[in-house]
Amino acid sequence: MNKEINLGRREALKAGGGIGLMAVLGAYGLLNSTAAMAEWNKAAFSSKAMDEAFAAMGAANPEVNATAIQLSVPEIAENGAIVPVTVSSTLANVEQITIFVDKNQNVMAANFIFPAGTESMVTTRVKMGQTANVVALVKADGKFYRTAKEVKVTAGGCGG
Amino acid sequence: MGNPMKIRAAVKDGVTEVKILMQHEMETGMRKDGDGSLVPAWFITEVKAQYQGRTVLEAQFGQSVSKNPYLLFRFKGGAAGEKVTVSWVDNKGDSRTDEVAISA
């Protein structure tokens, strides 16, 4: 009798554990597909140096590829507060494009996630405190690539 | 609620081009006001664009994105009259959602 009760209890625990695990996985899946997908990467956005930012993005040593990534920036920016940046890529399966300004206090400016069906290009505008390199990091098929171009800033856009 | 965005979405040859102009101060947290005290950081952190309930672009911003952020991107598909919805959230928890009909 006791044995039977114990067995019953064990079965119940097993079943309960299974349900618990499924609930956790379910919640993770839900978060992953909606809210958490766009989670703000605090470590990356607080990085003060490019190496640190790349590491925080999971791109420890991205391959330099100036041909498969097209980075369009002005050579000279008269107003560092509004520097237009366009990044596009001819790589297949581009998942992510990240834009950095290597001499800004926080080097990472913006990160873009491209679902299937969205073209691998984006245009935005960034602030530059001084003459610096604009760096584009592209994740395609799970691999990271980068390129950079210098923008000469005649009036900084980060001060007061 | 933040100020309204200006959004344009136009379809050409089966590709919809979306242009977004958000209205936001995008304070870096490093700028000093007239009294010499730091203006607290206040910037958009996340942006999401959706077409027919499907996400077509997601973005995360840091303080280096310019005031009144501008975005341009393109996705395959779209037909005149269908809606593109754009939402943002800032670091103070404020948010804004605007919608536009795709033009031909």
pLDDT tens readout for residues A69-115:
999 999 999 999 999 999 999 999 999 999 999 999 999 999 999 99
Based on the structure, what is the number of domains in chain A? 2
Chain pair A-B, CB pairs under 8 angstroms: 111
Q: Which helix (H) or strand (E) segment is B3 a member of?
A: none
Among chain B residues, the shortest Cα distance to A88 is held by B73
Residue entry with tokens 């598909």: B77
Listed range (A19-28, A61-70, A96-105) with the worst mean pLDDT:
A19-28
Give the global pTM.
0.84
Q: Amino acid identity, residue A19?
A: I
Q: What percent of chain B clears pLDDT 70, i.e. is strictly above it?
A: 100
Question: CA nearest B47: which of B13, B81, B73, B79?
Answer: B73
Residue entry with tokens 């000093």: B32
Q: Is residue B1 part of a domain?
A: no
Q: Which domain holds residue B14?
A: 6-101
Q: Which residue has better confidence, A44 or A34?
A: A44
Q: Which domain holds residue A21?
A: 2-36
- A110 and A75 in a single domain? The answer is yes
Based on the structure, what is the number of domains in chain B? 1
pLDDT for B2 equals: 87
Secondary structure letter of residue A36 according to DSSP: G
Q: Do B56 and A37 touch (CB under 8 A)?
A: no
pLDDT for A14 equals: 52
CATH code of the domain in which A125 resides: 2.60.40.2470
Q: Which residues on chain B are in Cβ contact (under 8 Å) with A121?
A: 73-74
Q: Is residue B38 part of a domain?
A: yes
> Is pLDDT of A13 > 90?
no
Q: Which of A81, A101, A119 sits opposite B75 (nearest CB)?
A: A119
Identify any residues that bridge with A65 across adjacent strands, giving them in sequence order: none
DSSP string across B54-97:
EEEEEEEE-TTBPSS-EEEEEEE---TT-EEEEEEEETTS-EEE
Q: Whole-angstrom Cα distance, residue A125 to residue B37?
A: 27
Q: Do A111 and B63 touch (CB under 8 A)?
A: no
Q: How confident is the model at residue A8 (pLDDT cuts 50, 70, 90)?
A: low
The ranges of chain B with pLDDT < 50 are: none
Q: How confident is the model at residue A22 (pLDDT cuts 50, 70, 90)?
A: very low
> What number is the ipTM of this complex?
0.96
pLDDT for A158 equals: 65
pLDDT tens readout for residues A99-108:
999 999 999 9
Question: CA nearest A111: which of A121, A96, A128, A101?
Answer: A96
pLDDT for A29 equals: 41
Q: Whole-angstrom Cα distance, residue A51 to residue A57?
A: 10
CATH code of the domain in which B41 resides: 2.60.40.10
Identify any residues that bridge with A140 across adjacent strands, giving them in sequence order: A94, A143
pLDDT for A155 equals: 74
> Is pLDDT of A10 > 90?
no
Q: Is residue B94 part of a domain?
A: yes
Q: Give the list of residues 6+ apart from residue A95 with CB closer than 8 angstroms, or none.
A: A113, A114, A139, A140, A141, A142
Q: Do B64 and A115 touch (CB under 8 A)?
A: no
Q: Do B57 and A45 touch (CB under 8 A)?
A: no
Q: Whole-angstrom Cα distance, residue B47 to residue A109?
A: 13
pLDDT tens readout for residues B44-54:
999 999 999 99
Q: How many other β-carbons are positioned within 10 Å of the β-carbon of residue A132?
A: 22
pLDDT for A34 equals: 41
> Is pLDDT of A157 > 80?
no
Length of chain A: 160
Q: How confident is the model at residue A117 (pLDDT cuts 50, 70, 90)?
A: very high
Contact B91, B52 (CB under 8 A): no
